[in-house]
């Protein structure tokens, strides 16, 4: 599985595209063999460790979107090997235009057959981080055709202030898309081939449709941050909760350098 660590240089045009649009999709980043090898364990652990047992009909909009388990890298050496792969981290550093990246946390997202939409939102609302030098790698573990609910984005929306105060849910879904459409932002969505991975910034608005297929949609995400990231000050309650979970011991205003936030790639 050598493609986990070998370099994946980006063209200057790709970095410029990410800087402009707030996201990019890259084809053939990881091989089918690598995704199958690690994906089996990721999917198995997600099903085994998730705590959601209610039928889809009894869940909230958010809870119908997917089953999720965080920081699988701590629960399995095999998944840890995947999450600490240097290739994806190197891509993240290139896109962020920084000298190194740390892990913020990983998150497995398993959208069941019949699972609902993932409402429009921006991730950075939750994060106790001092800057927006963050990027999420969205890694499908199988092809994602349109009927399975691929992730879609509003290009250039990362500079739009409206909606940043909204948690993911019914309200964010109702108002963010409508506002962005009024402002002239077009929603861009399409299928993912096997091995295709998207990278999006913390303030880039995005969403995913329902899974209308008879197969589950299994996705692994890895969230990277600038290796020099500091903890934000005056945290909101939701940011404080994230800080306690994913950056234990880090102090407001100081560099984040905890056991849960190792440097994954450095120049």
Per-residue pLDDT of the chain (267 residues; tens, 9 = 90+): 679 999 999 999 999 999 999 999 999 999 999 999 999 999 999 999 999 989 999 999 989 999 999 999 999 999 999 999 999 999 999 999 999 999 999 999 999 999 999 999 999 999 999 999 999 999 999 999 999 999 999 999 999 999 999 999 999 999 999 999 999 999 999 999 999 999 999 999 999 999 999 999 999 999 999 999 999 999 999 999 999 999 999 999 999 999 999 999 999
Domain extent, residue 140, equals 2-266
CATH code of the domain covering residue 98:
2.60.120.620
- This prediction has a pTM of 0.96
- Residue 109 has phi, psi (to 5 degrees) of -125, 110
Angle between helices 86-96 and 12-21 (to 10 degrees): 70
CB 195 within 8 A of CB 140: no
Contact 178, 225 (CB under 8 A): no
Cα separation of 27 and 25, whole Å?
Answer: 7
Looking at the structure of the chain, the number of domains it has is 1
Task: Name the region of 191 (left: φ>0; alpha: ψ -120 to 50; beta: rest).
Answer: beta
SS3 151: strand
Tokens of 96: 């962020």
């Amino acid at each position: 599985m050598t493609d986990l660590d070998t370099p994946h240089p980006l063209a200057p045009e790709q970095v410029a595209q990410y800087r402009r649009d707030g996201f990019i999709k890259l084809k053939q980043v990881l091989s089918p063999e690598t995704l199958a090898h690690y994906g089996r364990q990721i999917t198995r652990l997600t099903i085994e460790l998730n705590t959601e047992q209610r039928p889809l009909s009894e869940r909230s909009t958010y809870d119908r979107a997917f089953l999720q388990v965080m920081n699988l890298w701590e629960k399995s050496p095999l998944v840890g090997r995947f999450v600490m792969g240097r290739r994806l981290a190197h891509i993240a550093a290139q896109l962020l235009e920084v000298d190194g990246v740390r892990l913020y946390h990983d998150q497995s997202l398993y959208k069941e057959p019949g699972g609902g939409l993932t409402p429009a939102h921006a991730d950075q609302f939750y994060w106790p981080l001092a800057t927006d030098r963050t990027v999420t790698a969205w890694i499908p573990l199988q092809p994602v055709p349109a009927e399975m609910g691929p992730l879609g984005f509003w290009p250039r929306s990362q500079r739009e202030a409206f909606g940043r105060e909204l948690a993911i849910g019914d309200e964010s879904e109702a108002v963010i898309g409508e506002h962005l459409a009024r402002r002239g932002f077009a929603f861009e969505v399409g299928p993912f081939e096997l091995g295709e991975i998207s990278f999006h910034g913390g303030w880039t608005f995005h969403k995913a449709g329902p899974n209308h297929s008879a197969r589950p949609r299994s996705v692994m995400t890895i969230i990277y941050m600038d290796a020099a990231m500091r903890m934000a000050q005056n945290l909101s309650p939701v940011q404080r909760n994230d800080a306690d979970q994913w950056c234990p011991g880090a102090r407001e205003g100081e560099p984040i350098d905890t056991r849960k936030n190792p440097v994954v790639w450095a120049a």
